[in-house]
């Protein structure tokens, strides 16, 4: 690729750090942008964003590239966090990471990059794209992040670069170490970005008050215990209900009622037919006569399926029954290494 002006979204982690280094080594003009999407401190009065920003400063200094901080807290709250809360209130389990990539990184951040005169926006995602703007899986099957970009349009992907998409994680750390990057051994961030290591229930109670409800045995319909709100539970997780001969798992939610079954592999935790809505196709519309694969959660193995258009949206018929299909999450569809797009599980 001819030498370009490239903005790199620097998060303070090793992946984006090495992405910036690789582009600099190729001779591109590289500018770092550090995003602040959340202003609130955690319970200990310490904002982890400050530590990430210090790491960005260290990396930018090592690479001798300029860096700027951009604040998208308002956009994030309106387009990601508020949507997340509304979903929880409806009994869903939303995935804010896909919304963040669609609305913030590959929309707001991309526009900022273009305003700075950049021709491309680069990120540290483990994925790839082709020249036509199709999204491809990352080479490392354990780190592939195409799932999280399955709501990003082809027009944005054509302006995106993924410098580490063809690398495995151990190689990324080794190359970062050899390059003198301070982030080479930094732990990967996990969990929802605005919650981090906080207690999920305690955090959400700041926004959604506890509402007492009950657990019911899905088979007998018998009331067996009380809880503080259905929004704190997701399909497939173990329900902490004491005094029974076997553990209960969440199988279904209706308003503030949580229905549970005994045993983590109970047949009622599985289904082969999944109704989805608002399908989004990144580049190509599927051939409805073909068989594809799908993931109903990140890092799941690809599952063979057929996509059937119906009056109420799209029906996904899986070859094998799927455990803990969760309303509000995204089903992401693939044709081999090509990520076709996604839809919301109803």
- Three-class SS of residue 215? strand
Domain check: are 83 and 154 in the same one? yes
Domain check: are 77 and 125 in the same one? yes
- Measured at the CA of 12, the angle between CA 11 and CA 13, to 5 degrees, comes to 90
Q: Are 5 and 28 in contact (CB under 8 A)?
A: yes
Q: Is the pLDDT of residue 214 over 60?
A: yes
Domain check: are 34 and 165 in the same one? yes
Using CA atoms, how far residue 264 sits from 227, 239, 246, 268, 269, in Å, is: 20, 10, 10, 10, 8
Q: Is the pLDDT of residue 191 over 70?
A: no
- 243 versus 121: the higher-pLDDT residue is 121
CA neighbours closer than 13 Å in the CB half-sphere of residue 52 = 23
Site of tokens 């970005």: 193
pLDDT tens for 49-71 read 888 999 999 999 999 999 999 99
Domain check: are 143 and 61 in the same one? yes
In-domain check, residue 190: no
Which CATH number do you get for residue 285? 2.40.30.10
pLDDT tens for 272-330 read 999 999 999 999 999 999 999 999 999 999 999 999 998 778 999 999 999 999 999 99
pLDDT for the residue numbered 48: 67
- 43 versus 155: the higher-pLDDT residue is 155
In-domain check, residue 130: yes
Domain check: are 60 and 85 in the same one? yes
pLDDT for the residue numbered 3: 85
Domain check: are 67 and 105 in the same one? yes
Number of domains in the chain: 3
Q: Are 93 and 77 in contact (CB under 8 A)?
A: no
pLDDT for the residue numbered 199: 77
Integer Cα distance of 7 and 217 in angstroms: 53
- Residues designated as active site: 100, 193
* Out of 5-9, 10-14, 41-45, 119-123, least confident range: 41-45
Q: Are 164 and 126 in contact (CB under 8 A)?
A: yes
Domain check: are 245 and 316 in the same one? no
Integer Cα distance of 215 and 231 in angstroms: 13
Sorting pLDDT into bands at 50, 70 and 90, what band is 97? very high
Integer Cα distance of 327 and 254 in angstroms: 11
In-domain check, residue 16: yes
Phi, psi for residue 169 in degrees, rounded to 5: -55, -45
Domain hosting 158: range is 5-178
Integer Cα distance of 339 and 280 in angstroms: 11
Site of tokens 């989004």: 280
What does the block give as tokens for 223?
A: 């009331």
pLDDT for the residue numbered 50: 83
The arithmetic mean of pLDDT across residues 130-159, rounded, is: 97
Q: Are 20 and 122 in contact (CB under 8 A)?
A: yes
Sorting pLDDT into bands at 50, 70 and 90, what band is 193? low
Domain check: are 94 and 158 in the same one? yes
Which CATH number do you get for residue 225? 2.30.30
Q: Are 218 and 260 in contact (CB under 8 A)?
A: yes
């Amino acid at each position: 690729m001819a030498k370009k002006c490239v903005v790199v979204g620097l998060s303070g982690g090793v992946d984006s750090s090495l992405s910036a280094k690789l582009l600099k080594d190729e001779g591109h003009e590289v500018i770092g942008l550090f995003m602040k999407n959340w202003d609130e401190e955690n319970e200990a009065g310490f904002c982890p964003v400050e530590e990430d920003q210090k790491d960005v400063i260290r990396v930018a200094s090592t690479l001798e590239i300029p860096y700027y901080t951009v604040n998208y807290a308002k956009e994030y709250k309106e387009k990601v966090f508020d949507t997340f809360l509304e979903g929880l209130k409806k009994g869903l389990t939303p995935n804010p990471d896909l919304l963040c990539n669609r609305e913030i990184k590959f929309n707001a951040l991309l526009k900022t990059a273009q305003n700075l005169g950049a021709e491309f926006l680069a990120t540290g995602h483990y994925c790839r794209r082709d020249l036509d703007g199709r999204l491809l899986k990352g080479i490392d099957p354990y780190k592939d992040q195409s799932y999280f970009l399955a709501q990003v349009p082809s027009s944005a992907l054509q302006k995106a670069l993924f410098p580490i998409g063809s690398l495995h994680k151990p190689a990324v750390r080794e190359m970062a170490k050899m390059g003198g990057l301070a982030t080479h051994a930094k732990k990967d961030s996990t969990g929802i970005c605005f919650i981090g290591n906080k207690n999920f229930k305690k955090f959400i109670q700041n926004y959604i008050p506890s509402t007492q409800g009950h657990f019911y045995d899905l088979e007998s319909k018998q009331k067996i215990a009380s809880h503080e709100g259905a929004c704190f539970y997701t399909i497939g997780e173990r329900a902490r209900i004491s005094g029974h001969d076997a553990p209960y798992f969440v199988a279904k939610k209706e308003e503030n009622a949580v229905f549970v079954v005994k045993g983590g592999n109970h047949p009622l935790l599985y289904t082969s037919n999944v109704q989805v809505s608002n399908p989004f196709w990144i580049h190509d519309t599927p051939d409805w006569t073909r068989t594809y694969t799908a993931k109903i959660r990140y890092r799941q193995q690809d599952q063979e399926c057929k996509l059937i258009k119906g009056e109420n949206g799209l029906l996904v018929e899986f070859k094998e029954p799927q455990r803990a299909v969760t309303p509000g999450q995204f089903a992401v569809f693939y044709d081999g290494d090509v990520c076709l797009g996604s839809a919301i599980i109803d």
